[in-house]
Structure 1
Amino acid sequence: MRIFVAFEDVRLPMDVQPGQTVGDVKTVLKDHFKLNSSHAEGKILRMIFAGAILRDDWVCSDIGITSTSVIKSVLIDSDQPVLHIRCWYNDETVVIRDQLDFSKTEVKQLQRLVSSKTGLPVTVFRLCTKDGKTMFGYHPLERYGIELGTTIHLHVWDGWSDLLKAATRGHTKKVLRNTSSIEQIAKYQFRVACYIAAHFGHVDLANSMINSKLGGIKPEEPVGQHPSRLWAKDSCHVDAWRTPIHEAVTCGKVNIVRIFVQNSICSLTAKDGSGRTPTQLGFGCKQVECVQYLTSKLFSSYTENNVTLPVMIVIKTKKWSERARESVLTNQGAYKSSTKKRTYRPQAMVGHGIYVDGFNHYAMNSAPIYPELNPYGDASNHDHHYLTQADKRDVLLRSGRPFHVRYNSTASDQQLPKIPDRKSAEKHNRGTPNTRLNSATGSYLQTPVPQKHRLPTIAEGQFKTIQRTVARVEGRIPLPAISFENHLRPFFHATPKSNNPIQSTMKNFAKYRSMDPRDNAIQCMTMASTFKDMPWLRQVDLAISLASRGVKRSVIERPGCENQAKSLPKIAASPVKAK
């Protein structure tokens, strides 16, 4: 296909073959315009199409570039990344471009910067070098050999990967499904999820976390430390006591701030680890809308039980009443106290263990709940290899998590026979006429009922049945009662002993794409959403095309399959100067 590349004031026609990438087009463009010379040193070539910045590994035919399409190319100043943060919980890399002095910048400052980029609280992850050495807060980066362009690895708590991925995407049900069965750890996970929802602006997840029936988290509660590290809370990072409302104000999420204030009026005066309120933080971050809303709430009145008072007096009264209820609960017991939920207090408790940096076995390795070997084996073998049940039990014993032992049994004769419940049979047949107990078998028998008033039988053919066509409605689209379609549709014939064809297709898709089909669909839709000039339905079609062509290319490029020779696009004609 022939496309046109616009550079400065000229337009260059170029013939691009199927399978050629954006990087191939850039290579030809740099050679033609001599962009590798000294005058272009320190600059990079960027190509833009439909409002999206094209990446070098994207295939031109896959991203909606058709014949006669025009791609804009510009030279911009090189913005080389200072550091790369490899996030193992979601297999992504975060680029840090802020200028850092490695001899003076401490690790805790880098942790704060990484937290602002990823949306994770500082107590959820740890940073380590390429060699696996953990980086501690008060040491400079130079001590760990960090240089320009170094890759730093980010690991989270074991078994938290699915929870954090669901929270960053705003999937409330998946967050609730992946929480721990231990109450203290589950509360800590809810606070983390509420913090992440405040960072990304997920309204549904934030509502669920502050709901008393689900998460029960207060917006003014700090995220805090993991229960196994509360014994060292005095030496933790200062941002560990950052609350969800502070994070919402920092990111400028006004809708989340409104939800938090409506849920708890006391969140207006909440303080972070540095003693700043949300209003003070909003002034520092120049979030005008958040500051206007918080200021209007602070200097307004609050009505409850037909009593109107200034907001500051209401906040002080609520805090005093909470302290009074806590005192009654502590001194006189729960019978005389009206406390429904105790205020969060970061206190270490017996049974949660003690986690000491540098001494304990690290529980922050981004490992799944059931650690697995490489699910696809080596590069030439795609068979699944999982840990045995005994290995999983040993891992769970070391981590302190509950587990259930399952014994696989394929023989049908190992199942115990069902014993009939006599009491339930008596209850079921109680009051039923014409029943008697069989003493031999212990079951109830139904005596035949005399057929005195039996209706006469109707012979076939005496009456004609009237069939009415009823139009079924699926969703909002009414379907016709009778289909006149003559085209044959694909038919799947599956015997009871064969596998479900849909499940087998999904397994093959995951095998060749090395990821779950749902995650691949999300990735394709995220990639298609970068083309902001396209209509939404066109973005959906592009995501479908990316998913189908991606799996086809993965099958073709497998080892042992024939690959076409790599070639570069060709310049069709001399460049035309734009008017």
Structure 2
Amino acid sequence: MRVFICFEGTSEPFDIPPDQTVGAIKQVVKDNFLVQLTDDKHVRQYLELSYGGAALQDSWALCDVGITSGSAIRCLIKSERRPVMQVFNAVTGETLPIMGSEALPHMSVAGLKTVVSTLSGLPVSTFRLSTPAGVQLYDCNQLQDYAIELGTTLRLDTWDGWVEFLQGCLLGQRLTVQSHLSEKKPVMRFQLQVALYIAASLGHLDLADWLLERGAHAEQPVGVHPYRQWCHQTAHLDTGKCPVHMAAESSQLLILKLFITKNLLTLACRDPAGRDPLTVALQCGHRDCVRYLANKLSSVVSLPNLSLPMRIYLQLKCWVSLGQKRAASNRCQDISAAFKATVGDMLLVDGFNQPNMSSKSRKAVIKPRRGIKAKALQPLPPISNLLSPSHLPSIMAPSQHSLQSVYPGDLKELKQDVKSREDGLLDEISKEDSSLGKGKFILPPITSSESIPRPGFVGASPKSSHILESFSHRCGRTPRENAIYCMTIASTFTEKPWQKQLSIARTLFRKRVYT
């Protein structure tokens, strides 16, 4: 088919097969227009083909996005700066580009963690950075102290057992967050603050509302992990940021309204730099947040027989809260009460012990513990022994009667065997101690998980279900997540109607599944 490619004010016709990929078309355009592209370590130039307001990817074919004969495709030369450094995020599996100049190796590790926290949405107290050789980077040092060169790919790791929890926070999935909370109360409280910080950054309103009901506070800083609370004086400055500051920095107006509705003290909350949410929103240039916060601070609070300006009311509330905290601290006479840790808790000191931050999944952390408990279990005595009232004390002693192994056999024989044993069960109970060793209980056959029938899709053929299962195994995404991904790509064709975008999404989904 013949398409027209517009490049630098000219339009040239090209006869291209419908199944031709965009990458091959770019090579044809480059040879026809004699395009010279620069590619060095600082700047990279590349060709971009756009149709319907969206950029075409190199792996697409023209028929995939509905390009027909006579269509016009725009060709542009774009340039981008190469990242000075990259960080592989073990939580999401993405690689974050770190832009900057050649002076980036002279930056401190604390400054780099601030940049990484802004790009990933994770608080600085939930991850660590390490070199490709596995050497951990500490906040007090500079990157050049670790001989890190330009173009190096660092690694971001989180606490063991936190991967699923942080993924649920980033996606705003309340049930996932709830199911992966820690059983230890200090760690769980820290996780609630972390989840509220991420929800405020990404605008997950439902998750933020649920976390506030669970006891999280928008006016309190995220802080450090309870295992590091004895060395919090050297912690990163960003650990003092509160979720309300992150909401103002990310221009999440609905989250700000939720926080202020729950507690008016969030208006006077200050970050480590001494900024309140209004100052943060002003410096970031978010007009909607600035307008809302300014109106709130200039409003009047109506009390019984009294009306106070908001700023005076907030000062009174802060004084009352400070007095309550001092009164509570005076009641604690024991010096050790200042620390929240108890005997037996883990203590981490940088440089002296290996922190548990290797991004292990929750299943990998819990599985060894279950294996240890399973080995300690003793085999149960036969049920025929337990039914006899005269032999109840023998339950506490280790049983010498082993369970009889049973393998799946004929169903009719099994039913007859079970029926005969049910008929003779009352007789076995009344037998004496000498006959107890002869009575044994046969377990029902163990059915493997593979033989359990699974519900299938209505109207779906076995071949299609097999394709979807293999796709989920290879791609790492469920068919629903892949459909959302294809619909997101199709929505970039802003110049096309919605029905055309839906047709493009269906074509992309079908191609990705069957490929």
- TM-score by length of structure 2 reads 0.74
Q: How many Å separate the matches in 2 of 1:27 and 1:116?
A: 37
Map of 2:220 onto structure 1: 221
Larger deviation, residues 274-283 vs 188-197: 274-283
Map of 2:179 onto structure 1: 177
Map of 1:295 onto structure 2: 294
List per-residue Cα deviations over 1:158-215 (Å, max 9, x = no partner). Answer: 222222222222222322222222222222122112111221222222222222xxx3
- The CA deviation at 1:126 is 1.2
Q: Unpaired runs of 5+ in structure 1?
A: 334-344, 373-390, 398-402, 420-440, 442-494, 554-579
Map of 1:6 onto structure 2: 6
Map of 2:470 onto structure 1: 508
- The CA deviation at 1:349 is 4.7
List per-residue Cα deviations over 1:438-490 (Å, max 9, x = no partner). Answer: xxx9xxxxxxxxxxxxxxxxxxxxxxxxxxxxxxxxxxxxxxxxxxxxxxxxx
Map of 1:32 onto structure 2: 32
Q: How many Å separate the matches in 2 of 1:56 and 1:532?
A: 19
* Residue identity in the other structure for 1:303: S
SS in 2 for 1:78: strand
Larger deviation, residues 195-204 vs 115-124: 195-204
What is the percentage of aligned positions where both structures have the same residue?
A: 33
Larger deviation, residues 303-312 vs 222-231: 303-312
8 A contact 2:105–2:149 mirrored in 1:
no
8 A contact 2:131–2:137 mirrored in 1:
yes
8 A contact 1:279–1:291 mirrored in 2:
yes
- The CA deviation at 1:253 is 1.9
Q: How many Å separate the matches in 2 of 1:94 and 1:249?
A: 23
- Specify whether residues 326 and 418 from structure 1 end up closer, same or farther in structure 2 by C-alpha distance, changes over 3 A only: farther
Map of 1:275 onto structure 2: 274
List per-residue Cα deviations over 1:187-244 (Å, max 9, x = no partner). Answer: 2122112111221222222222222xxx322211111111111111110110011011
Q: Does 1:46 align with 2:48?
A: yes
Q: Does 1:552 align with 2:511?
A: no
8 A contact 1:227–1:352 mirrored in 2:
no
- Specify whether residues 251 and 330 from structure 1 end up closer, same or farther in structure 2 by C-alpha distance, changes over 3 A only: closer
SS in 2 for 1:361: coil
Q: How many Å separate the matches in 1 of 2:87 and 2:210?
A: 30
Q: How many Å separate the matches in 2 of 1:155 and 1:415?
A: 50
User: Where in structure 2 are the equivalents of 1:468-547 lying within 5 Å?
Assistant: 498-502=453-457, 506-536=468-498, 538-547=500-509
Q: Does 1:157 align with 2:159?
A: yes
- The CA deviation at 1:95 is 1.9
8 A contact 1:47–1:74 mirrored in 2:
yes
Q: How many Å separate the matches in 1 of 2:54 and 2:37?
A: 27
Q: How many Å separate the matches in 1 of 2:129 and 2:370?
A: 23
Q: How many Å separate the matches in 1 of 2:23 and 2:110?
A: 38
8 A contact 2:158–2:357 mirrored in 1:
yes
- Specify whether residues 13 and 174 from structure 1 end up closer, same or farther in structure 2 by C-alpha distance, changes over 3 A only: farther
- Corresponding residue to 2:363 among 358, 367, 370: 370
SS in 1 for 2:5: strand
Q: How many Å separate the matches in 2 of 1:232 and 1:416?
A: 59
Count residues in correspondence: 439
Q: How many Å separate the matches in 1 of 2:108 and 2:473?
A: 43
- The CA deviation at 1:123 is 0.9
Q: How many Å separate the matches in 2 of 1:406 and 1:517?
A: 42
8 A contact 2:490–2:504 mirrored in 1:
yes
- Specify whether residues 277 and 357 from structure 1 end up closer, same or farther in structure 2 by C-alpha distance, changes over 3 A only: same
Q: Does 1:119 align with 2:118?
A: no
- TM-score by length of structure 1 reads 0.67
List per-residue Cα deviations over 1:308-367 (Å, max 9, x = no partner). Answer: 22222322333343345556666779xxxxxxxxxxx99545444112333333322222
8 A contact 1:102–1:140 mirrored in 2:
no
- The CA deviation at 1:127 is 1.3
Flag the structure with higher helix content. 2
- Specify whether residues 393 and 47 from structure 1 end up closer, same or farther in structure 2 by C-alpha distance, changes over 3 A only: same
- Specify whether residues 210 and 507 from structure 1 end up closer, same or farther in structure 2 by C-alpha distance, changes over 3 A only: same
SS in 1 for 2:134: coil
8 A contact 1:119–1:200 mirrored in 2:
yes
8 A contact 1:228–1:352 mirrored in 2:
yes
- Specify whether residues 243 and 30 from structure 1 end up closer, same or farther in structure 2 by C-alpha distance, changes over 3 A only: same
Map of 2:74 onto structure 1: 72
